[in-house]
Amino acid sequence: MTLKKSVSVFGVTGSIGASTVDILKSHADKYSLEAVTAHRNVKALAKAAIELDAKCAVIGDPDYYQELCDALSDTAIEVAAGENALVEAAQRPSDIVIAAIVGAAGLKPTLAAIRRGARVGLANKETLVCAGALMTAEIAKHGATLIPVDSEHSAIFQVLEERAENRIDRILLTASGGPFREWALKDMKTVTRAQALAHPNWEMGAKISIDSATMMNKGLELIEAWHLFPVAEKQIEIVVHPQSVVHSMVEYSDGSVLAQLGSPDMRTPIAYALSWPDRIKVDAPRLDFATIGGLNFEAPDTHRFPALRLARQALQEGGTLPTVLNAANEIAVEAFLEDRIGFLDIAHTVEKVMTRLGSDALTSLEQVFETDAMVRRETSACLASA
């Protein structure tokens, strides 16, 4: 009999959270559940906690504490609420933490898991974008292990393993191109919320769906890849691949290109983060290459998708600029989702805020939190005065 690994799932009510629950349910012999968290969705949080027999359930917004207590009153599941409770949940002794909160809100709990040397399956790319080298330094200091959950970074992680890291020529980060890949710029001006949320290949939460439509998601992934893998910024190229079958590639100095392929189903990379260095069975649809027929690749268009250019600029200039990019983008995406700004205004707003605030040297995590809060205020003010 093998010992079960205990898992905590942060953001269990989201798209990544639901896929994680699906895997944990089908491998109940291998995994037990320590803690689950959500922001406000009490019903889905309580359901996941009960189904997986979690020890603890935490709701981020304290206004929902009583509702959660009521929903779990017939169980022995511990209940807590608020930002500090999220951090305390991350400090509980689980072997693996799946970090699937959306946005910089996930940074404090993820750092708490890192600081106790846990294995972190990182979906929440915004944390690595805004805290960058400070977060990787914490990982090294506390002997934590970070396994990427983003399908592209999981692909790179899988084809990089046990290979000569100093023999990498290029990392090729694939991008679906999103719903507006073939749209003219003039038509992108009138994109609606519903059109932007309808991703052609992946079913995801609202924020990442909009990021995919603007291609900011690929920009955030560029910065994430630079922090995760031993390459220079110039060695990371983005290539548009509309079928989302090749999840990313690594080119070595002898000209070999190694790729990881699979159907667009997040359960595969999540399962890998849970089972690494082993593999477990996942019921993801299998690729039928004869039906797929062909795989296409094209260069990205930074004119129609300026977010790609902005993210590369943030990576090149470094310091606090990636923190600024991320926070401004979170506020602009929220404004678009609330129909307060147009689709093209998202990247324009990010650019305006980046230009206005510029970059400072990044020296401490406190500075990350201060910068994040200041940029949110500046971006909201910039939107209000537009």
Question: Can you give the binding site for ligand NDP, defined by CB under 6 A?
Answer: 11-17, 38-41, 60, 100-102, 105, 123-126, 150, 202, 204-208, 266
CB of 38 to ligand NDP, least distance (A): 4
Are 316 and 120 spatial neighbours (Cβ–Cβ below 8 Å)?
no
Q: 126 vs 251, which CB is nearer to ligand NDP?
A: 126
d(Cα 216, Cα 106) in Å, to the nearest integer? Answer: 18
Q: Are 362 and 320 in contact (CB under 8 A)?
A: yes
- In the bound state with ligand NDP, the residue whose beta carbon lies nearer, of 38 and 324, is 38
**How many residues are given for the chain?**
386
- CB closer to ligand NDP, 329 vs 352: 329
| Least distance CB 205 / ligand NDP (angstroms) | 3
Question: Whose Cβ is closer to ligand NDP: residue 209's or residue 371's?
Answer: 209
Q: Which residues contact 275 (CB under 8 A, 6 or more apart)?
A: 30
The least CB distance from residue 104 to ligand NDP, in Å, is: 9
Nearer to ligand NDP, 320 or 326 (CB): 326
Residue 198 tokens, joined: 């309808």
Is the torsion defined by CA of 256, 129, 102, 380 positive or negative? negative
Q: Compute the least distance from the CB of residue 240 to ligand NDP, in Å.
A: 17
Q: Closest separation between CB of residue 166 and ligand NDP, Å?
A: 29
Specify the DSSP class assigned to residue 113. Answer: H
Residue 100 CB, shortest distance to ligand NDP, in Å, is 5
Residue nearest to ligand NDP (CB): 14
Using CB atoms within 10 A of its CB, is residue 186 exposed (0-12), middle (13-18) or buried (19+)?
Answer: exposed
Helix axes 107-115, 83-91, angle to 10 degrees: 30
Nearer to ligand NDP, 18 or 383 (CB): 18
Q: Which of 222, 224, 238 is nearest to 122 (CA)?
A: 224
